[in-house]
Amino acid sequence: MRIAVGQFAATEDWPANLKSCLALVDQAVAGGADLLVLPEDSLALFIDEPARIAEVAQPLDGPFVTALAERTAGTSVTVVAGLHEPAGDGKVFNTLVAVRDGALVTSYRKIHLYDAFGSRESDRVRPGDGEPVVFDCAGWAVGLMTCYDVRFPEIARLLADRGAEVIALPAAWVRGPAKERHWEVMTVARALENTCYVAASGECGRRNIGASMIVDPLGTVRARLADAPGLAWATADREELDEARRRLPVLANRRFAVDPAIRPLEEWC
């Protein structure tokens, strides 16, 4: 499977962000991508007034997702991207969509909200409470998780339990001391401990680090970007995956199961 991860600097203007996304879709199609992963917050990014996210949030049948889906019509690419979706109570969901051949394939609402390093995502975003999402892409099982989710190995393991061979990881990783190191260490760890590929897309710009990367099942970073807009490419190989899981059978050797039950909101919010 041919994988591309793309990054750009999102703004408060969602039509401009859509234009950036569509340009990356066109480049991915031209390069023969089966899977394109775009960042979290691809719809709009409000740095100074985060509460305004609710003003531009769109439903999954709104113009942003519809335009992304339409751009994939007649192609073989599946596009994963992030947006904020109205939650119906003044808050929003931080949602990923996967679109292919003109249609929505699946969606995932971010489970772990970024209440860390002085931020309070839960003040404006409701967490998802559904099952981990895995879908088929070009004969590969692809799991979805978002940004802060990468700090919680349980969700990646649950995706592996459900057959994920590739994890798509859109993010908007905020700059800060040692934060780039955190991003790389945990992205590589999620690939290595589950012997799967991780396709991680990071939003770039004045707040976020970019640093998109594609990691193979033995933890080698096959492709990466720095902090400028662009695409990075790698190929997921079935024989390579099978050999990694034969040589390093951590999924078969583990002794503990992961309980998929989600803690009630009132216990942590």
Q: Which of 21, 137, 147, 196 is flagged as catalytic?
A: 147
In one letter, which amino acid is 6? G
For CA atoms 182, 206, 127, 3, give the dihedral sign. negative
- Hey, how many other C-beta atoms are within 10 angstroms of the C-beta on 189? 16
219: left (phi over 0), alpha (psi -120 to 50) or beta: left
User: Is 110 a known active-site residue?
Assistant: yes
DSSP character string of 52-75: GHHHH---TTSHHHHHHHHHHTTS
Of the candidates 128, 123, 208, 221, the one whose C-alpha atom is nearest the C-alpha of residue 171 is 208
The shares of helix, strand and coil residues in the chain, as percent rounded to the nearest 5, are: 30, 25, 40
Which residues are CB-neighbours of 139 under 8 A, at least 6 positions away?
A: 1
Q: Are 227 and 211 in contact (CB under 8 A)?
A: yes
In one letter, which amino acid is 100? R
Rounded distance, CA 76 to CA 81, Å? 16
User: What is the C-alpha R_g of the chain?
Assistant: 17
Of the candidates 27, 30, 26, 37, the one whose C-alpha atom is nearest the C-alpha of residue 3 is 37
Q: Are 230 and 190 in contact (CB under 8 A)?
A: no
Q: Are 94 and 121 in contact (CB under 8 A)?
A: yes
Q: Which of 110, 196, 203, 204 is flagged as catalytic?
A: 110
The residues carrying an active-site annotation are 40, 110, 147
